[in-house]
Amino acid sequence: MVGHRPQLKVAVVHDWLTGMRGGELCLEAILELFPGADVFTLIHVKGSVSQTIESHKVVSSPLNSIRHIEKWYRHFLPILPYFAESFNLRDYDLVISSSHCVAKGIRKSPNAVHLSYVYAPMRYMWNRFDEYFGKTKSSFVTRAVASLVRPFLQSWDRASSSVERVDALCGISHFIASEIEAYYQRPAQVIFPFVELDRFTKKGLSKTRDSFYLMVGAFAPYKRVDLAIEVFNRLGLQLKIVGAGQDENRLKAMAGPSVEFLGYQTNEQIVEWYSRCRGFVFPGLEDFGITPLEAMASGAPVIAFKAGGVCDTIPSDCGFVFDEQTASSLETAVLACEKDPTRFSEAQLREASARFTKQRFQSVFSHWVKTEWVSKGKSEHLLADVMIESV
């Protein structure tokens, strides 16, 4: 009589589930590869993420019992490592962390394999500390507390990325892979995120480009929305900004009459803005940068700071790039677009974005998981029982 083959148990750990952004889209794609996986997360706001994610068993931390925690969880940063390490994962054979904060800091069982897909090292404690906690960005008390806990969090972040805790690391761009190597002294594979290309090619979208420029995203300090506002104030050109965030009041106070804040917009509305804008403005240093790819998928030229993830996504012949993160450098790029907005054909721009499909992401990701799993002496057949290699 043939014995029953044991089923592997798979856990996918994500920092928090409070909305569908780029990281959650990647999480969703990962879960499609592992339909039987359980999800562990610090905070879960039910209904805030897709049905694909919600259909899995979701285990949250005790933080989730705090009233309105989704508004205040950033204030708990110094103790988030404790809650990440407190998850009980001893029964799981394969753990995949989807991490930009503390998710990769989980503790696995000795025989389990932990693979971490890293959107960024804990950016606010490493190279972007001053962008979050600079004198003009936070109160004296906040900065003092952040400075006090920074050495501990850096030490924990480095220790939780050791080979004893994480079997293999993967970054979302070559920029992030280089940061992983710098901070954790470990090499990292690179697997690019994806763009839902079909959203930007459907019928009924505008065929005519207007005179305004567009920005889309959260108002986090490193996005450098302030730089764009300064330039468009000076030039008197129209800039429409979609989004919200911690810097909103400060940014609105510095905006002139040519800058318009559109606030929250639905996905359908954002697609329409992309289809009508003269150019898309992207002045921040991003870990990867989904929105420039969305703009190109819409046929809109991108004006971008040539650093970080942009180096992987925007070919030199497909964008108005600038080399210094200064108002004068951005202004030169804006004026170049204003002078020749059709320098790059819509077909050329769409083709450049078409490299970043969900199907490619899932194919490369599943290959990475299988390669790392087998390299640890694990059974490929057992993995095949729980992983779908092509969705």
24 and 109 part of one domain: yes
CA–CA dist 29, 19 (Å, integer): 15
CB contact at 8 A, 71 and 93: no
In a domain, residue 303? The reply is yes
In a domain, residue 361? The reply is yes
What is the count of structural domains for the chain?
A: 2
As given in the structure block, the two tokens for residue 160 are: 């939780």
Average pLDDT over the chain, rounded to an integer: 90
Q: How many degrees, rounded to 5, is the angle at CA 287 between CA 250 and CA 243?
A: 35
CATH number at residue 204: 3.40.50.2000
In a domain, residue 3? The reply is no
127 and 186 part of one domain: yes
168 and 41 part of one domain: yes
- Mean pLDDT score, 11-17: 97
- Mean pLDDT score, 279-285: 95
247 and 363 part of one domain: no
pLDDT (0 to 100) of residue 199: 85
52 and 96 part of one domain: yes
- Mean pLDDT score, 101-108: 95
190 and 60 part of one domain: yes
166 and 222 part of one domain: no
- Mean pLDDT score, 106-124: 93
- Mean pLDDT score, 88-110: 95
Where does the pLDDT of residue 11 fall: very low under 50, low under 70, confident under 90, or very high at 90 and above? Answer: very high
124 and 175 part of one domain: yes
pLDDT (0 to 100) of residue 118: 97
pLDDT (0 to 100) of residue 1: 41
User: Which amino acid type is present at position 30?
Assistant: I
**Contacts with 152 (C-beta within 8 Å, 6 or more apart), sequence order:** 78
In a domain, residue 241? The reply is yes
CA distances from 14 to 94, 132, 214, 366 (A): 14, 22, 30, 18
251 and 129 part of one domain: no
- Mean pLDDT score, 337-343: 90
What percentage of the chain exceeds 70 in pLDDT? 94
User: Which amino acid type is present at position 376?
Assistant: K
As given in the structure block, the two tokens for residue 114 are: 């932990």
In a domain, residue 214? The reply is yes
pLDDT (0 to 100) of residue 5: 66
> pTM for this one?
0.88
- Mean pLDDT score, 318-327: 92
pLDDT (0 to 100) of residue 204: 55
pLDDT digits (tens, 9 = 90+) for 70-87: 888 878 888 999 999 999
CA–CA dist 297, 315 (Å, integer): 14
Length of the chain as a residue count: 391
175 and 269 part of one domain: no
More confident residue, 137 or 178: 178
For residue 128, pLDDT over 80 is answered with no
pLDDT (0 to 100) of residue 143: 75
CB contact at 8 A, 216 and 273: yes
**Contacts with 349 (C-beta within 8 Å, 6 or more apart), sequence order:** 296, 297, 299, 300, 301, 318
CA–CA dist 387, 370 (Å, integer): 9
pLDDT (0 to 100) of residue 73: 82
204 and 179 part of one domain: no
In a domain, residue 290? The reply is yes
Where does the pLDDT of residue 232 fall: very low under 50, low under 70, confident under 90, or very high at 90 and above? Answer: very high
For residue 178, pLDDT over 70 is answered with yes
CB contact at 8 A, 362 and 391: yes
SS3 for the chain is CCCCCCCCCEEEEEEEECCCCHHHHHHHHHHHHCCCCEEEEEEECCCCCCHHHHCCCEEECHHHHCCCHHHHHHHHHHHHHHHHHCCCCCCCCEEEEEECCCHHHCCCCCCCEEEEEECCCCHHHCCCHHHHHCCCCCCHHHHHHHHHHHHHHHHHHHHCCCCCCCCEEEECCHHHHHHHHHHHCCCCEECCCCCCHHHHCCCCCCCCCCCCEEEECCCCHHHCHHHHHHHHHHHCCCEEEECCCCCHHHHHHHCCCCEEEEECCCHHHHHHHHHHCCEEEECCCCCCCHHHHHHHHCCCCEEEECCCCHHHHCCCCCEEEECCCCHHHHHHHHHHHHHCCCCCCHHHHHHHHCCCCHHHHHHHHHHHHHHHHHHCCCCHHHHHHHCCCCC
**Contacts with 249 (C-beta within 8 Å, 6 or more apart), sequence order:** none
CA–CA dist 348, 111 (Å, integer): 48
CB contact at 8 A, 36 and 63: no
CB contact at 8 A, 30 and 4: no
31 and 79 part of one domain: yes
What percentage of the chain exceeds 90 in pLDDT? 72
Where does the pLDDT of residue 267 fall: very low under 50, low under 70, confident under 90, or very high at 90 and above? Answer: confident
Give the range of the structural domain holding residue 165, as residue numbers without chain letter: 10-194+357-386
For residue 341, pLDDT over 90 is answered with no
What phi and psi values does residue 320 have, to the nearest 5 degrees? -90, 95
pLDDT digits (tens, 9 = 90+) for 129-149: 666 666 666 677 777 777 888
CB contact at 8 A, 355 and 345: no
pLDDT (0 to 100) of residue 390: 66
In a domain, residue 51? The reply is yes
In a domain, residue 180? The reply is yes
CATH number at residue 111: 3.40.50
